[in-house]
Amino acid sequence: MSLDFENQVALDLMQVLLGSISANVRGVSFEYEKGRVLIHYLLAEDSFEDRDEAMDMLAEFEALQTKPFDIECRVAVSSEVLPNGVGSLKGRPIYARKETKE
């Protein structure tokens, strides 16, 4: 993935996430794998509303693209402490909520 393409993906994701992230969302990141963009959506607790929001975000993200490519959104649920903070997210982080280690 070229840096220009990666930066465009990052900007598009930031745009579609504006105003849609609930307190339950721990992080959003993306990576490019085998010709497709994988969006990782990490939740603290499983929630139908947040999963639905992730799918809405995916649809809005796809609508912004000027060239066709494969896109997949993977939603994970975990309340475990991220050992490396934002560095624990897969790929390029777009959003990470502030968390304290307990």
Q: What percentage of the chain has pLDDT greater than the value 90?
A: 68
| Confidence (pLDDT) at 10 | 95
Q: Find the CATH number of the domain harbouring 9.
A: 3.30.70
pLDDT tens-digit map of 21-65: 999 999 999 999 888 999 999 999 999 999 999 999 999 999 999
Residues with Cβ within 8 Å of residue 90, at least 6 apart in sequence:
29, 31, 38, 40
Q: How many domains is the chain built from?
A: 1
Please report whether residue 67 resides in a domain: yes
Confidence of residue 95 (pLDDT cuts 50, 70, 90): very high
Domain that holds residue 86: 3-96
Residues with Cβ within 8 Å of residue 39, at least 6 apart in sequence:
13, 28, 29, 30, 57, 58, 61, 71, 72, 73, 74
| Confidence (pLDDT) at 100 | 75
